[in-house]
Each structure stands twice: as C-alpha cells, then as structure tokens.
C-alpha cells in the first residue's frame, strides 16, 4: 500500500488505485496524510475541504467522507499494512507507518543525500527522491486554503532537491546535464532567482556563455515587468562571474589537442554534412507543458534501436508533443524522417487515406539520397534498400498517426543508436512484443497546463486576465483536452468583441458543446468519430450503449448488460475501447470516460433507436437490482430480502462473485455512485419499479455509513414509490429515509416520514416491514424527548410482529431498543427479561447484524446486573460482550463495553 501526495492524491494497492471519488474526499485524505499519526480536529478538516467557507451541513458531510474513506481503506487491505483511520473525540487520526507515504520517503531520501560525501551517491538518492513525484503536489484537492499552502511547501522542497541535484552534477563535471535539469524548472518558475542563477552558472560551465547571459536578461526583464524589482544578490553575482570569466563559474580550460588514436572497429557513422535528411514539419505553435512526457521520451529513446509509442486519446496532442521533442533532439541524429501514416483519417474519396508502405519507403529513400531513377520497384526491395541506407547511421524516424503495428515495422531504422517515435490512438501492443517498444502515455492537461495553452493559443493574455473566472470556466469545460482548448482559442480570437463569459455560457450547454468544439473539419467530435470507426463492431456497439450509462464508471458485468452479451465478450470490447483511449482503466477491471467522450457517446445514443437504447438501460438497471439484492443477502444473511425482483426482470448475464459480508460491502462501496445515478436515471425514464428498489437495496451500506449524505437518494426513491402508488415500496423507503434523518439529527422530519411507514406496511400486508418501521419510529421519538408510552408501545408491538413472522433480525432490533428504553427508566429487572429473550434467539449467523445486536444486548444486560448489585455476573457479561466485539471488529460495541467496565471500576475504586 502506498499513500500519494506528490501528484494526484491517492492510495495505491496491489489491486490498483482505490476509487477515492470526489475532490472533497481526496482533500480529506490529504489533510490527514499531511499530519500522519496526529489527531486532526474536525474543524481543521472542514477548513481544508471548504477553504472558501463551509456550508451549513459541513460537519455531517465531512463525517460521511470519513466513513467512506475508512471503508475504502478497509477494502484496500489497510489492516495488513498497519493502517487505520480512528476517531479521537472530535478529531481523526490516520495511524500508519510513515514509510508508506511518498512525501515522507521523499524527505528521507533528500536528507540522506545531504549526508553523503560522494557526489555519485548523493545524485542517486536525489534522483530516487524526485522520481516519487508524478506531477504537482496535491492534485485533485481543494484549490485554496491550508491545502494550497501545503502544496506550495512541498513544491518548494522539490525545487530545492532539483537545485541540489544540479549542484551535484556540477561536482563531477556534468554541466550540460545540470543545465537541462534546471531549464525545465526555470521555465515553470521563471521568477525564482536561485534557479535562474544556478541555470546561468551551469550554462556557462557547459560552454554556453551567450545562453547564460540571455537567461540573466530575460529574468531581469521579467522581475521588472511583473514585480517592479531589480535582480537580487544571487542573480547579480552569477552575472558578474560570467562576465568576468574568472569566478567559480568559469568553464575548465580546454585540453591540448592529442594525436588521433588508431582506428578501432567500425562504428556507426555520424554525418556532419548539413544536407542530412530532415522531413520534420515546422514545430507546433503554442506548445506548453508536457515536461514529464518529454523527459520520458528522452529516456525511452536512449537504448539502441529504440522504439517508442506515444499514445493517447484523440485530440490530446500526441503529434504536437512528438514534433516538439523531435525538434529539440534533432541535432543528436544524422537525419530526421517523418511521415503521417493517416491511420485515423477520413477516407471519403478525397485521396487522404492512409499511404501505402511502399510510397513512404520511396519518400524516405529519396530523402536519404537515393535518386528516383534508382529506386527499387517491389515493396520487399524498397524495404531492403531502406535498411541498407539506415544501418550505419543514427536516424530519428517519427511515424505519426499509426493505426497498426504492421504499418510501422517496415519503416523502423536499422542503425544502432537510431530511434523511432510512433504516435497512435491505439496502444499498438504488437510493437511491444516484436520490437520491445516502450510506451509513453499522453493524458489530458492539468488546470495549469490548460490555462497556459489557452493563453498561448489566443495570444490574448490581457483579455483572459480581465475575466479570470470565465477563462477558468472555459478551460474546465474543455476538460484538459488540447484539441478542445485550441478550438476554443480559435472561437475567442474570431470574436474579439464577445465577453468570455458569453462563450463559456454557450459551451456549458451539454447539447451544444461538441458542436461548438468543431471548426470546419477539425474538432473533438470529428476526431472521436474517426477513432471509433477504426474499431471492430463489438467495440462500436458498446460505445453507443455507453451513452445511456448513468454512473461514472463500469465493469465487464455492467457492459455485458448494456450490450446483451456475455461478460467475456464485454471485457474484450472494453479492452478495445481502452486500447483506443476512448476509455481509461484507472483500476483493474473498472473503466471511465473522459467528459467530452461521454458527451459524444450520449449524442450517439440519442441518435440511435430509442427502443434499443431504453432496453439497454433497463438491462443495466436490472443488473444493478439483481446484484444489489445478492449483495444484501451476503452482507446481512440473517435478514429477509427487503424486496423481490421485478416481475419482468431481464435475464441474468452474469454478476461479480460476492460470497461474504466483506465482499458485499466492498461491492456497495465501489458501485455507490453508479447505484445512485442509476436510481436517478430509472426515475427520469419512468422505470420507477427499478428506481425505488435501487434506493432501498443499499440499506446494508446505509446502515454502516449512515451520515454519508444519503438524503438525495432517499428522496429519489420516495418520489418513485409515490408515483407508482405502491404502499409496500413507500413504506420501506419511508422507514429507511426516516432512520437516516434520525441519525442526522433532523428529528421532526424523521418523525414525519416514520409516522406514515407502519400504516403503509400494514396496508401492504408486510408484517416484518411494519415491525421495522415501528422500531425506527420509536428511536426517533425517544431521541426527540426520551422514552414515552407511545414509543414503548411501538417497540413492544414491533417485537410481537417480528416474533410472529420468525424475523430474528428485526426482533433483535426491537429488543435492543427496548433494553435501552428500560435502562433509561431504571426498570432493570425488565431489562434482564428483555435481553434474555434476545440472547436466546436461535439462528444468528457468523456474519451480519444479528451477532452485533446481541453484543449490544449483553452490554445492556451487564449494565442492569450492575445496577441490581450482581457485580460478578455483570463483569462476566460485559467482558464477554467486549471480547466478542473485539473479535468481530465492532467498534461501537467495543467502545460501549469498555466505557461500562471503566464506570464499574471507577465506582468500585471510590467505594460507591
């Protein structure tokens, strides 16, 4: 298990990334990880989650996120790593070995580097430390307040480590390497004078005096324009040393010429003639960011015969990144070859279809100096001539927009030290097998990169600065996709008189967004259409059906339901869509769509046959209903099913294997957002018989995490039940809804819901449901004013009803609450009778709520025995309850048993 702050906040496990969900939950985790093993008060967590000011229900929502995070950690096997999220009063502590936190390991490695005497050892430790960073710190959390301050502090520590590594490189004479390292940071932090000074010295020591001086003047001008200040002492001293040429920044004296050595074995020849082939198009305009991806290209291009596949979704900027990198490294090679393989072009008869391999080879050979009249005629002879021409030279070959590995293989250069960069919307796994190709994935831009690209593409920094909120909204609606940002920039430039807020308002309309993100034949929808067209029929069908997917992600079972195929066939289609970057797979077996891809899929679904798309939605809803009913059965095996399947439920195409309480709760945790979205979609589409079931079937998870903002789902389920005019459905929803409101402290609203639930259940003829509703009503009434005659009568009636239908779990619930009522009224003898009945009930399983409710009955019994002066029996009963609670990991039972034992011990010690 690894906790990550140095990049996107997350938790990596052996099974993949934990699905943390919304930014508020990531913010909560970050706030706890910044102070591991330390109690963080709830108020401080609220400040971190809502830096702009908390809403009225901030405490309840935060506690809900804590519960959800605790469940996710348990799902990821936190106990095995000594990790637990515990409550201490009004604070929370994330107890963990700090070695599991990337920020802690970074600090330790940097500290060790400072202690090394050998520059080589120090550099190795610093490189390892910096490799822990996967992007800016604390990505995905609240953008202001204490977390922003913490992110800035982590970034300063990273830059200091970079400066230290550059100094270390300088100690063993690798000044060019130090300059390259510092240059990227100086671009990102142009006003950090220590970076600029270090870069100037490294450039000078590498023999690039003019570049060093230019760096000084650019930094000086920027400081004057942005801050109105002159360079500080560090920058001035570095400048003076470079001008004098005799300070510590002076490059070493060139060595005297030595006689040439005897010729060794033949090596690849590096051409020095200026007429080496260069087919690169011009560098991309407005290229920003991508430092990490460019560094990955550098690393991947190092080995002999290196082949790198630069892959990513349509419109993410693969061609721009490849060209930008190729222009920066072209001097390393004897020549550069480029071709657009047009693997995803629109073959509409315009002649713009993919070129034949033989035609590309002819173009390359002519560029390599072969006269047109001497070109071989057959493809095999052309390929042989190409290998001969490239085998003794270092060439860089850029193959853009490839669709298959077969297109690529004949075009790879033969010379040692050569490199090929292939861009594709597909992963081209065949190249990894046959050519040992390395993959560099290009994702969407982060908010800062998006803003930088929009500014560069518009050239209207003043206009963007004048409307910062609208500019931020534009980048947000483009969801980090460079193609979308460039189209928006074109629209901004075409309408200089328009306010940016007007364009942002237009773009916010989901029905029009993709149309607005197309210009002529270029745009997001066009790029996605070409990607989809290149895929097999099964993948295209699934993509169309994804347009009805209500939730954020899916697995192969949900995909099977959407397409009416087997899970194995659905898994193949999902993998093909992921290979084309129309889906991403953040954790094994779960797939997500980019926002703009989702809009495109929804547009396709709207254009498809309405009956077919609605049928796909019903199959998906039925899959969720069926699996949720199974999850409830394995999670609470002592309880009766809270509903039956719809009469017209679609056939079962397969569902995940859920075998026990742990797997059932884990499924609820992973699918929660999908289940909520499915209930909303079901109600909107008129499938209310599915909508209320999807709400009430989550009751085992609701019970475990009751303060995790369940009210919207309950309201949705109630609306569906009322529209059906189904008293059974309405009674069940009201009973659960009222209990949620009770736990949230909204007692008046809770009682309003619960007072109607028993009568509705009786009208539906469901005795067990009536008993549950009566207990929930009694709980709410007691919390509103203590035990009353009415609430006592409700619980007695509930126990009788449950006993009559042999509903053990509901009878235990009623007896548990009755014991609490009797303790409150000091009727201790009646408590013994009540708890004796509950503890004698047969059939309680090893899992579920029944044994937990019996633990609480034992605690009530021990309390009553103590009040009656039967001390030995009381202690035995309480110790048994505590031990059983510890065995089952039942925190509430452990806490209550411990408190009662401590109370008895305290009274004994004081002689009471």
Is 558's pLDDT higher than 90?
Answer: yes
The pair of structure tokens assigned to 597 is 């891809």
Task: Give dist(CA 403, CA 533) in Å, integer.
Answer: 12
CB count in 10 Å sphere of residue 810 = 25
Q: How far apart are CA 35 and CA 40, in angstroms?
A: 7
End-to-end CA distance of the chain: 50
Q: H or E stretch including 396?
A: strand 395-400
DSSP letter (8 states) at residue 89: T
Confidence of residue 64 (pLDDT cuts 50, 70, 90): confident
pLDDT for 249 equals 46
Mean pLDDT for all residues in the chain: 86
Task: For residue 840, give every residue at least 6 positions away whose Cβ sits within 8 Å of its Cβ, in sequence order, or none.
Answer: none
pLDDT at 408: 92
Q: What CA–CA distances, in Å, run from 254 to 207, 242, 501? A: 10, 17, 60
Maximum average pLDDT range among 330-344, 415-429, 684-698, 841-855: 684-698
| Residues above pLDDT 90, as percent of the chain | 42
pLDDT digits (tens, 9 = 90+) for 433-448: 888 889 998 888 888 8
Give the closest residue to 402 by CA, choosing from 355, 352, 349: 355
Is the model more confident about 533 or about 555?
A: 555
Predicted TM-score (pTM) of the model is 0.63
Q: DSSP assignment, residue 338? A: E
Q: Which two tokens stand for residue 860?
A: 């009530």
Of 298-302, 329-333, 561-565, give the lowest mean pLDDT range. 298-302
pLDDT at position 214 is: 81
Cβ 527 vs Cβ 594: under 8 Å: no
For 238-283, what is each residue's pLDDT tens digit? Answer: 888 887 775 444 554 444 344 444 343 333 333 333 357 888 888 8
Upper half-sphere CA count for residue 849 (Cβ side, 13 Å): 22
- DSSP alpha helix (H) spans, 246-378: 291-300, 318-329, 357-367
Nearest to 574 by CA among 678, 585, 564: 585
Q: Is the pLDDT of residue 349 over 70?
A: no
For the segment 346-357, the average pLDDT, to the nearest whole number, is 58
548 has which bridge partners? none
453-470 residues labelled b (16+ CB within 10 A) or e (exposed): bbbbbbebeebbeebeeb
pLDDT given at position 251: 52
pLDDT of residue 498: 80
pLDDT band (50, 70, 90) for residue 119: confident
Task: Give 727-741 pLDDT, tens digit per residue.
Answer: 999 999 999 999 999
Q: How many helices (H) and strands (E) does the chain have?
A: 42, 16
How do residues 478-521 score in pLDDT, each as one tens digit?
Answer: 888 888 888 888 888 877 778 888 888 888 887 778 877 876 55
pLDDT score for 873? 94
| In contact, 733 and 714? CB cutoff 8 Å | yes
pLDDT of residue 261: 44
pLDDT digits (tens, 9 = 90+) for 746-771: 999 999 999 999 999 999 999 999 99
E-assigned strands of 575-689? 584-587, 590-592
Give the 3-state secondary structure of residue 395.
strand
CB contact at 8 A, 515 and 603: no
pLDDT tens for residues 458-487? 877 777 888 888 888 888 888 888 888 888
| Burial (CB count within 10 angstroms: exposed 0-12, middle 13-18, buried 19+), residue 497 | exposed
What does the pLDDT average to over 307-331? 90
The whole-angstrom separation of Cα 586 and Cα 742 is: 37
Bridge pairing between strands 522-523 and 518-519:
antiparallel
- Residues 377-413 as b/e (b if ≥16 CB within 10 A, e otherwise) read eeeeebbebbeebbebbbbbbbbbbbbbbebbbbbbb
* 693 alpha carbon, distance to own chain's centre: 29
Residue 167 has pLDDT above 50, yes or no: yes
The pLDDT value recorded for residue 346 is 57
pLDDT digits (tens, 9 = 90+) for 617-648: 999 999 999 999 999 999 988 788 889 999 99
Cβ–Cβ under 8 Å, residues 404 and 427: no
Mean pLDDT for 27-33 is 94
pLDDT of 21 > 90? The answer is no
Find out whether 530 and 343 touch, Cβ atoms under 8 Å. Answer: no
pLDDT at residue 521, rounded to an integer: 58
> How would DSSP label each residue in 195-235?
HHHHHHHHHHHTT-HHHHHHHHHHHHHHHHHHT-----HHH
Q: What is the reported pLDDT for 849?
A: 78
- Up-side HSE of residue 128: CA atoms within 13 Å toward CB? 15
Label each residue of 244-272 as H, E or C: HCCCCCCCCCCCCCCCCCCCCCCCCCCCC
pLDDT in the model for residue 93:
94
- String of b and e for 71-86 (b: at least 16 CB within 10 Å)? bbbbbbebeebebebe
Answer yes or no: is pLDDT of 211 > 90.
Answer: no
CA gap 115, 7 in Å, rounded: 27
């Amino acid at each position: 298990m690894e906790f990550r702050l140095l990049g996107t906040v997350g938790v990596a496990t052996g099974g993949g990334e934990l699905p943390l969900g919304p930014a508020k939950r990531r913010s909560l985790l970050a706030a706890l990880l910044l102070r591991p093993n330390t109690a963080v008060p709830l108020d401080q967590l609220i400040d971190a989650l809502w830096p702009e000011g908390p809403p009225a229900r901030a405490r309840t929502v935060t506690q809900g996120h804590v519960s959800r995070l605790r469940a996710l950690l348990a799902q990821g096997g936190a106990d095995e790593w000594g990790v637990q999220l515990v409550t201490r009063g009004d604070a929370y502590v994330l107890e963990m070995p700090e070695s599991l936190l990337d920020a802690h390991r970074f600090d330790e490695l940097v500290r060790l580097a400072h202690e090394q005497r050998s520059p080589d050892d120090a550099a190795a430790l610093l490189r390892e430390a910096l490799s822990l960073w996967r992007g800016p710190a604390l990505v995905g959390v609240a953008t202001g307040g204490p977390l922003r301050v913490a992110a800035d502090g982590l970034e300063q520590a990273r830059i200091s480590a970079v400066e230290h590594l550059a100094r270390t490189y300088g100690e063993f004479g690798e000044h060019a390497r130090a300059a390259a390292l510092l240059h990227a940071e100086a671009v990102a932090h142009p006003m950090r004078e220590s970076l600029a000074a270090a870069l100037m010295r490294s450039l000078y020591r590498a023999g690039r005096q003019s570049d060093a001086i230019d760096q000084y003047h650019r930094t000086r001008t920027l400081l004057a324009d942005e801050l109105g200040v002159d360079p500080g002492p560090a920058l001035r001293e570095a400048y003076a040393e470079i001008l004098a040429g005799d300070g510590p920044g002076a490059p070493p004296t060139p060595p005297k010429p030595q006689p040439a050595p005897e010729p060794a074995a033949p090596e690849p020849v590096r051409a020095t003639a200026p007429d080496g082939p260069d087919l690169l198009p011009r560098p991309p305009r407005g290229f920003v960011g991508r430092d990490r991806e460019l560094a990955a290209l550098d690393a991947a291009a190092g080995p002999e015969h290196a082949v790198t596949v630069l892959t990513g979704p349509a419109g993410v900027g693969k061609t721009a990144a490849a060209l930008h990198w190729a222009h920066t490294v072209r001097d390393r090679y004897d020549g550069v070859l480029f071709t657009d393989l047009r693997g995803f072009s629109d073959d509409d008869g315009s002649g713009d279809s993919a070129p034949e391999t033989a035609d590309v080879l002819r173009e390359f050979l002519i560029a390599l100096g072969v006269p047109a009249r001497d070109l071989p005629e057959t493809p095999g002879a052309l390929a042989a001539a190409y290998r001969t021409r490239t085998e003794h030279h270092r060439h860089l070959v850029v193959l853009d927009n490839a669709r298959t590995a077969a297109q690529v293989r004949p075009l790879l250069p033969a010379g040692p030290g050569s490199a090929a960069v292939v861009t594709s919307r597909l992963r081209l796994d065949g190249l990894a097998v046959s050519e040992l190709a390395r993959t560099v994935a290009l994702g969407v831009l982060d908010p800062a990169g998006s803003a930088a690209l929009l500014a560069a593409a518009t050239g209207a920094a003043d206009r963007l600065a004048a409307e910062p909120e609208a500019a931020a909204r534009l980048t947000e609606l483009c969801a980090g996709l460079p193609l979308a940002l460039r189209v928006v920039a074109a629209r901004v430039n075409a309408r200089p008189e328009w306010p940016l807020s007007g364009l942002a308002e237009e773009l916010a309309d989901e029905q029009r967004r993709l149309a607005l993100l197309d210009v002529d034949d270029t745009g997001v929808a066009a790029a996605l259409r070409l990607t989809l067209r290149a895929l097999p029929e099964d993948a295209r069908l699934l993509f169309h059906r994804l347009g009805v997917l209500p939730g954020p992600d899916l697995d192969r079972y949900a995909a099977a339901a959407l397409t009416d195929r087997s899970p194995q066939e659905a898994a193949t289609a999902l993998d093909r869509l992921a290979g084309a970057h129309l889906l991403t797979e953040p954790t094994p077996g779960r797939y997500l769509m980019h926002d703009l891809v989702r809009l495109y899929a929804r547009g396709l679904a709207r254009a498809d046959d309405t009956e077919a798309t609605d049928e796909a939605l019903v199959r998906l809803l039925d899959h969720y209903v069926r699996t949720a009913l199974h999850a409830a059965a394995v999670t609470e095996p002592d309880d009766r099913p809270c509903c039956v399947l719809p009469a017209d439920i679609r056939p079962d195409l397969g569902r995940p294997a859920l075998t026990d309480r742990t797997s059932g709760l884990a499924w609820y945790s992973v699918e929660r957002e999908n289940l909520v979205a499915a209930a909303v979609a079901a109600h909107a589409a008129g499938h209310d018989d599915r909508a209320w079931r999807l709400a009430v079937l989550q009751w085992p998870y609701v019970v475990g995490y009751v303060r995790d903002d369940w009210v919207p789902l309950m309201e949705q389920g109630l609306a569906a039940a009322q529209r059906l005019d189904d008293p059974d459905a309405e009674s069940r929803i009201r009973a659960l809804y009222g209990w949620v409101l009770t736990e949230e402290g909204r007692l008046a609203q809770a009682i309003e819901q619960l007072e109607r639930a028993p009568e509705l259940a009786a009208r539906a003829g469901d005795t067990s449901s009536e008993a549950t509703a009566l207990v929930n009503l009694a709980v709410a009434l007691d919390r509103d004013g203590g035990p009353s005659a009415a609430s006592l009568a409700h619980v007695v009636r509930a126990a009788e009803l449950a006993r009559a239908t042999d509903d053990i779990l509901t009878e235990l619930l009623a007896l548990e609450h009755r014991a609490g009522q009797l303790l409150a009224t000091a009727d201790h003898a009646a408590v013994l009778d009540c708890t004796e009945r509950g503890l004698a009930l047969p059939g309680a399983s090893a899992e579920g709520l029944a044994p937990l409710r019996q633990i609480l009955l034992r605690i009530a019994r021990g309390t009553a025995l103590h009040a009656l002066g039967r001390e030995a029996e009381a202690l035995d009963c309480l110790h048994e309850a505590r031990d059983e609670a510890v065995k089952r990991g039942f925190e509430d039972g452990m806490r209550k048993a411990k408190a009662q034992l401590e109370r008895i011990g305290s009274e004994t010690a004081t002689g009471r």
